[in-house]
A and B are shown apart, each in its own frame.
Chain A
Amino acid sequence: MIAIGLEGSANKLGVGIISHPSPGKPAQILSNLRHTFVTPPGEGFLPKDTAKHHRSWVVQLVKQAMAEAKVMIKDVDCICYTKGPGMGAPLQSVAVAARMLALLWEKELVGVNHCVGHIEMGREITGADNPVVLYVSGGNTQVIAYAEQRYRIFGEALDIAVGNCLDRFARTLEISNDPAPGYNIEQLAKKGKVLLDLPYAVKGMDCSFAGILSSIDVLAAELKANPETKDPITGEVITTADLCFTLQETIYAMLVEITERAMAHVGSSQVLLVGGVGCNERLQEMMGLMAAGRGGSIFATDERFCIDNGIMIAHAGLRAYETGFRTPLEDSTCTQRFRTDEMFIKWRD
């Protein structure tokens, strides 16, 4: 069976085409295209402009994806799209595009939970069987484990998401949003050496990033006012790179800690990293060290699958489609609020 997936819950528009050969065989990725709405340094992406970006690119991307996959319209079994969670306006644009394709090609629709898309794609690519999942992106921070047909949320950010914290700090520093603000922070952090004091906010399996963002913003303002400030311990001049280094070391330590706690709680030794922040190499390294200490291993994917993409929506949608799930046209809405544990996972035991 073949499905096309459309994703546009944030600033990435993704179109992917996947094929599920006979059951038990690995899925085949026929095409996986993405176009990102990049804003100038110091600016975030607004829903209105992001929706416009998606509307103007979706037709071209679908045509290109079909051509690259070398499939005919008659080969496609269903059209999968992101039902939520995400930003309202961009979600709507993509849902309308999906409806249009469904009517034009006379195919059935499948609305997919964005987070479940990430998890299912991560499992498919890495072969992780039943891992504890850390889902970290610009809008979500969740520690998830599977139980009784649902992906259950064990821990999450109590205020802003970890990726949002990084994005907003990139705006404070006015560094480039291309290809992604988090990526540029990661590169800067590689040059950092001094660890400054930041709050450390873990509550059980939950964590909080808003206070940390305020603190690092204060540190950035102080640095801007006195560029010659020296670290009292090493005597080295503090740089923006040190700020990025400090921020990464602190927030990733928090993420690894809550993941470890969830692993201990459910007695699992596998951990799967998904979401845009999941392709950060420092986070992967730290998570790997933690997992090794528990006699386990880490599963992560690269930016093709970590960052929002259409193929994951196609994949999770096709899984649901194979179990008989359909989204009738009149119900093909989208929603900003759609918890990971709201979706019934019929395809797993």
Chain B
Amino acid sequence: MEIQAAPPAHQAPLSPSPHLLPPIFQSDTAPPQMITQGAEALLYRTTYLLPTLPCALKYRPSKPYRHPILDARLTKHRILSEARVLVKCRREGVPVPAVYAVDEREGWVMLEWVEGEVVRVKVNEWLRRRKELGVAEGVEEEVLKGLMGRIGRAIGRMHGGGGLCMGDLTTSNLMLRPKREDTVNGEGSRNAGDEVLGGEIVLIDFGLASQSSADEDRAVDLYVLERAFGSTHPRAEGLFSELLGAYGTSFKGANVVLKKLEEVRMRGRKRSMLG
């Protein structure tokens, strides 16, 4: 499930025509509804087995820019590894959507439908509301800190419990699933729309994930997220330490990863060597 792109406003609504779904989905009386075009995959909403059971259909069409051999190799590898990783996560109690069905040759996987929004959207909404209300930076940030803590623990559970690395950790790959009571009486708002950041963290999009318990890979995961956070939400960058703090206590060996992270940061920064 890759809910990455909000379609650009000036663009016409996404039409499924340039990417025809595999035949099995074409004869359906209720065709899958396109939700979004991520970087890698197209996401549709449809149903699985029962018309009442919503599911996410993630389809990786072949990329016309890639050499066909390379394309087939990557698509097959990513669909399979994603499905394997999700199943393993599920078993280890990491919050991820369940896998319903896979066809790696056709390039699709069917997943449990996760309600809610991605963290990127929610954090930006929260920051915007605060700006409108004129709340200064650094004031009443407990809610955001709480969210950062929950993210840190979720990643910790994936790394420590699941023995997995995401490969592409951004605030677009973390969903906030509203708790049931939140959806019912979420109207009673406290200050600055704090309920915006409520809910359970669900990790999505494991297209680049791998089974790894190397500190290096774990540290790169955190580094990638840190950088994505800094570039997407510059105003919330200062709170990343909250996330790392929660991560550090989430499993045995997390502190070694945090040490490694410092090394990775230094290396990443060295990239400004030449022009």
Contact = CB atoms under 8 A, between A and B. Distances in A.
Interface of A: 9-10, 82, 84-87, 91, 114-115, 137-142, 145, 147-148, 150, 152-154, 156-159, 161, 164, 195, 200, 202-206, 249-250, 253, 256-257, 260-261, 263-269, 285-287, 289-290, 293-296, 308, 336-340
27 contacts: A9-B275, A85-B274, A91-B275, A140-B271, A142-B271, A152-B231, A153-B231, A157-B271, A161-B274, A164-B274, A200-B70, A203-B168, A204-B208, A205-B170, A206-B224, A250-B70, A253-B70, A256-B65, A261-B40, A265-B228, A266-B232, A267-B8, A285-B65, A286-B66, A296-B8, A337-B273, A339-B269
Contacts of A161: 271, 274
Interface string B9-44: 001100000100000000000000000011110000
Which of B169, B231, B232, B267 has its CB near the most chain A CB atoms (within 10 A)?
B231
Nearest to A267: B6
Contacts of A339: 269, 272
A147 B231 contact: yes
Contacts of B208: 202-204
A285 to B, nearest CB: 8
Nearest to A194: B69
B231 A264 contact: no
Contacts of A286: 65-66
Q: Main SS of the interface on chain A?
A: mixed
Nearest to B264: A158
Contacts of A295: 8, 11-12
B256 interface: no
B5 interface: yes
Contact of B167 (A138, A203, A250): A203
Contacts of A338: 272
Interface of B: 4-8, 11-12, 18, 37-40, 63-67, 69-70, 74, 120, 167-170, 172, 208, 220, 224, 227-228, 230-232, 234, 267-275
B65 A287 contact: yes
Contact of A203 (B18, B66, B67, B220): B220
Best-buried of A84, A200, A249, A266 by chain B (most CB within 10 Å): A266
B275 A139 contact: yes
B167 A204 contact: yes
A150 B232 CA distance: 12
Given A253-B66, A265-B232, A286-B65, A293 B18 contact: yes
B5 A267 contact: yes
Nearest to B61: A293
A318 B275 CA distance: 20
Nearest to A288: B65
Contacts of A337: 269-270, 272-273
Contacts of B39: 257, 260-261, 263-265
